[in-house]
Amino acid sequence: MMSTLQSLRTFLVSKPKWFRFGLIFASLLLLLYVLTDTNCLVEAIIGIPCPGCGLTRATIAFITLDFPRAFQMHPLFLLAYLDIALVSVSVLTGKVSDISRNILVVSLVLFIGVYAYRMVTMYPLIAPMKPNPHSLLNQLIDLFN
The CA-atom distances, in angstroms, between 138 and each of 19, 91, 118, 132 are 32, 36, 22, 8
Confirm if 129 and 119 have CB atoms less than 8 A apart. yes
Report the residue from 12, 23, 105, 127 that binds another protein according to the rule CB under 8 A: 105
Helix, strand, coil percent values for the chain (each to nearest 5): 70, 0, 30
Q: Which residue of 69, 75, 96, 122 would you call a contact of another protein, by CB under 8 A?
A: 96
Select the residue interacting with another protein from 24, 31, 85, 108 (CB under 8 A): 108
Asked if 111 interacts with another protein (CB under 8 A), we say yes
Within 115-144, the residues that bind another protein by CB under 8 A are none
Candidate residues 2, 13, 63, 91; the one interacting with another protein per rule CB under 8 A: 91
What is the Cα Rg of the chain in Å?
Answer: 19
Binding site residues, another protein, CB under 8 A: 18, 39-43, 50-53, 55, 80, 83-84, 87, 90-91, 94-96, 101, 104-105, 107-108, 111-112
